[in-house]
Amino acid sequence: MNSPSTRSQAYAQAVAAKRRQIWLGLLVLGVCVVFAGHIAEISAFKFLDNIGSFTSYFYRIAHLENGQWVVSDPVEWFWGWKKWLALMGETLLMAYVGTLLGAIAALVLCFLASKNMTQNTWVVFATRRLLEFSRTVPEIVFALIFVVAFSLGPLPGILALAIHTTGALGKLFAEVVENVDMKPVDGVLATGGNWLHKVRFAVLPQVASNFASYALLRFEINVRGAAVLGFVGAGGIGQTLLEVIRKFYYADVSALLVLIIATVMLIDALTERVRHRLLGLERAG
């Protein structure tokens, strides 16, 4: 029964079955792609037609008005650097204030969302759904709504960032809190401590460095987010970027993009160093 020929037959059958499955999957995918291409009004021809204009766009943003390379005259390229740096500073400040507000809200809510700290399952459930809602709705949608309610400016942007940050950090924080060692908690309870003592002396020392690390990571993400909130009028450098792109000020587009990318990379590098130190501290301590 178990002769080599039947075994190889079984192998061939198994391979053939798998092949069939893969082809079927590819067929379904292909149908979806054709359908999607029809809906999104695109075709390969249109794409090929436009490749040229894409490269020419990049050629244009890399050249000044007088036709010279942008790098040949940095002063001319970054002619508005004072204004732009101020706007970039405003963007960073928005990200900072938004992250801090969101982190504080998340700090309060995460204990209510973790099962080991809150006995009432309804409170846990409701807090979790609230956090989920605030992180599922994109921050730019919140910003759109807040711009109507709070009028134009950085304030609606900050609030949008703060709400999204609350949702994202609240979830991460709650997961950290659910994984703490419960022995210190029992210790505090045994000496007659109340809920706040429990949080302050048993849980916070275990989670503080992790929380700070997550908050810094969120700050990085929020810097990127804050840079585009201006598209809907919610402050920061985005408003100016939108204008120069829409008005075809090619050299300004590249100058602003370079400024944003450089700032984001700088912030990433800085926070990464701090985060590594924080996590190292946790391992040592």
Partner 1 sequence: MSTAHDKAQATLLARYPQHFQAFYKGRISTVLLGLLAVAVFAFGVHSLDMSYRRIVGGLGELGSMVLRMIPPDPGSWHQAGVYAYAMLETLAIALLGTLMAATAAFPLGFLAARNTTINQVVKFFARRSFDTLRGVDILIWALIWINVVGLGPFAGVLALFVSDLGIFGKLFSEAIEAADDKPVEGVLSTGGSPIAAVRFGILPQLLPVLLSQVLYAFESNTRSASIIGIVGAGGIGLILSEQIRTLELQQMSFVILMILATVSLIDLVCARLRFSIIGARAL
What residue ranges bind partner 1 (CB under 8 A)?
29, 32-33, 35-37, 39-42, 46, 50, 53-54, 57, 90, 93-94, 96-97, 100, 136-138, 140-141, 144-146, 148-151, 153-156, 158, 224-225, 227-228, 231-232, 235, 241-242, 245-246, 248, 253, 257, 260-261, 264-265
Residue 232 amino acid letter: V
The CB-of-57 to partner 1 minimum distance in angstroms stands at 5
The CB-of-49 to partner 1 minimum distance in angstroms stands at 9
d(CA 141, CA 232): 9
The CB-of-144 to partner 1 minimum distance in angstroms stands at 5
The CB-of-46 to partner 1 minimum distance in angstroms stands at 7
Q: Which is nearer to partner 1, 116 or 264 (CB)?
A: 264
Q: Which is nearer to partner 1, 195 or 277 (CB)?
A: 277
| Cβ count near 217 (within 10 Å) | 18
Q: Which is nearer to partner 1, 11 or 54 (CB)?
A: 54
Q: What is the largest CA-CA distance in the chain?
A: 84
Q: SS3 helix, strand, coil % of the chain, rounded to 5?
A: 85, 0, 15
The CB-of-182 to partner 1 minimum distance in angstroms stands at 25
Q: Which is nearer to partner 1, 170 or 225 (CB)?
A: 225
Q: Which is nearer to partner 1, 57 or 116 (CB)?
A: 57
Note whether 160 and 146 are within 8 A (CB): yes
d(CA 118, CA 115): 5
d(CA 176, CA 169): 10
Q: Which is nearer to partner 1, 117 or 171 (CB)?
A: 171
What angle do the packed helices 81-112 and 238-246 form, to 10 degrees?
A: 130
| Cβ count near 99 (within 10 Å) | 26
